[in-house]
């Protein structure tokens, strides 16, 4: 049995909140720089160059890469042979978010009640997803999610007869509807299968997958490539000002589903698709 104290978890989450908001992950930085070179629309290229300059300034000045520092989404993978001591695991994560957003001078965007709209003033609570696995591993994956793009996300309860074409049509429609509102160029996370809520979690998790790691399933990898090509033919372009760089990547995750359904979720993220992973 391996023991991990909540103090370590809190400090790790604190540091991850700050890092994720100040430094774009290497895979995201790479695709943005590559897209800047290949974008041939004059205004689109100018926007891409400004995004690269923004990343450089954020790095040099140690300030957030986006003013919307997001709602903290945390994926926790816990081995069955791990014992967490020192208090509640959930509270340790929330405290880490509180410290990270306070100490890092990050914008606090969470309201206590969806209708009353009173700010919690520390960006808590986080949204936490747990996965229990064999062994003694303990992994934390943090993804601060801004809501300009989150508001453009969709769920489609497709029928099995809709097939692959139905999936492609729905994803393309979601991106069309998002247009400039999702701060393109975007990363498109797609969740296919499971049920109503499972496909949404799959889509959110898909956004955190390294862009250098396509789906291991050949038919899904092919679908990701086709969608990326077709989405970039929409002409929305960087900032919505036109161009061939509307989407930087399409990541799709799947799960078994019922014979009568084919749930599909599209979770869109802007060009600051932030995620940080730590193994304790």
The answer on 173 and 127 residing in a single domain is no
pLDDT computed for residue 212 by the predictor:
87
Per-residue pLDDT of 156-177, as tens digits, reads 999 999 999 999 999 999 999 9
The answer on 139 and 226 residing in a single domain is no
The answer on 183 and 124 residing in a single domain is no
Whether residue 46 is contained in a domain is answered as no
The answer on 197 and 91 residing in a single domain is no
Whether residue 91 is contained in a domain is answered as yes
The answer on 129 and 189 residing in a single domain is no
The answer on 184 and 106 residing in a single domain is no
pLDDT computed for residue 133 by the predictor:
98
Per-residue pLDDT of 12-66, as tens digits, reads 999 999 999 999 999 999 999 999 999 988 899 999 999 999 999 999 999 999 9
Whether residue 44 is contained in a domain is answered as no
Per-residue pLDDT of 187-237, as tens digits, reads 999 999 999 999 999 999 999 999 989 999 999 999 999 999 999 999 999
Whether residue 78 is contained in a domain is answered as yes
The answer on 139 and 15 residing in a single domain is yes
Whether residue 32 is contained in a domain is answered as no
The answer on 239 and 109 residing in a single domain is no
DSSP per residue over the chain, as a string? -EEEEHHHHHHHHHHHHHHHHHS--HHHHHHHHHHHHH--SHHHHHHHHHHHHHHHHHHHHT--SSS---EEEEEEEEETTEEEESS-HHHHHHHHHHHHHHHTTPPP--BSSTTT--B-SS-PPPEEEEEEESSS-EEEEEEEE-HHHHTT-EEEEE-GGGHHHHHHHHHHHHHHHHGGGG-SSEEEEEEEEE-HHHHHHHHHHHTTS-TT---SSHHHHHHHHHHHHHHTTS---GGGS-SS-SEEEEEEEEEEE-TT-EEEEEEEE-S----EEEE-
pLDDT value at 262 more than 90? yes
Alpha-carbon gap, residue 165 to 173, rounded angstroms = 12
Last residue of a domain, one of 120, 145, 170: 145
Which of 40-44, 121-125, 230-234, 240-244 is predicted with the least confidence, judged by mean pLDDT? Answer: 40-44
The answer on 210 and 94 residing in a single domain is no
Are 25 and 143 in contact by the 8 Å Cβ rule? The answer is no
The answer on 85 and 121 residing in a single domain is yes
The answer on 176 and 136 residing in a single domain is no
Q: Containing domain of residue 104, as a range?
A: 2-20+65-145
Whether residue 16 is contained in a domain is answered as yes
- Count of the separate structural domains present in the chain: 2
Per-residue pLDDT of 88-116, as tens digits, reads 999 999 999 999 999 999 999 999 999 99
> How much is the average pLDDT of 79-96?
97
Are 148 and 68 in contact by the 8 Å Cβ rule? The answer is yes
pLDDT value at 126 more than 90? yes
pLDDT value at 141 more than 90? yes
- Number of Cβ within 10 Å of residue 233's Cβ equals 10
The answer on 217 and 92 residing in a single domain is no
Whether residue 170 is contained in a domain is answered as yes
Whole-prediction pTM: 0.95
Whether residue 34 is contained in a domain is answered as no
> How much is the average pLDDT of 118-141?
98
């Amino acid at each position: 049995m391996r023991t991990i104290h909540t103090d370590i978890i809190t400090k790790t989450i604190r540091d991850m909140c700050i890092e994720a908001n100040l430094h774009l992950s290497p895979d995201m930085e790479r695709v943005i720089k590559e897209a800047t070179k290949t974008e041939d629309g004059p205004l689109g290229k100018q926007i891409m160059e400004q995004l690269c300059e923004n990343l450089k300034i954020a790095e040099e000045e140690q300030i957030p890469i986006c003013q919307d520092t997001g709602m903290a989404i945390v994926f926790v993978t816990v081995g069955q042979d791990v014992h967490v001591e020192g208090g509640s695991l959930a509270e340790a994560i929330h405290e880490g978010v509180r410290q990270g957003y306070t100490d890092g001078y990050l914008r606090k965007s969470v309201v206590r009640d969806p209708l009353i709209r009173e700010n919690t003033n520390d960006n808590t609570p986080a949204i936490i997803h747990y996965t229990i696995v064999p062994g003694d591993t303990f992994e934390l994956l943090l993804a601060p999610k801004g809501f300009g793009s989150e508001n453009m996300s969709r769920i489609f309860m497709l029928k099995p007869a809709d097939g692959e074409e139905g999936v492609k049509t729905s994803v393309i429609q979601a991106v069309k509807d998002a247009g400039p509102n999702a701060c393109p160029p975007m990363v498109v996370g797609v969740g296919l299968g499971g049920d109503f809520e499972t496909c949404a979690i799959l889509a959110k998790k898909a956004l955190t997958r390294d862009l250098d790691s396509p789906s291991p399933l050949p038919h899904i990898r092919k679908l990701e490539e086709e969608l990326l090509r077709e989405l970039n033919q929409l002409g929305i372009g960087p900032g919505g000002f036109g161009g061939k760089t509307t989407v930087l990547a399409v990541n799709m995750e799947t799960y078994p589903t019922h014979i009568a359904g084919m749930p599909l979720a599209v979770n869109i993220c802007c060009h600051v698709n932030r995620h940080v992973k730590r193994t304790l």
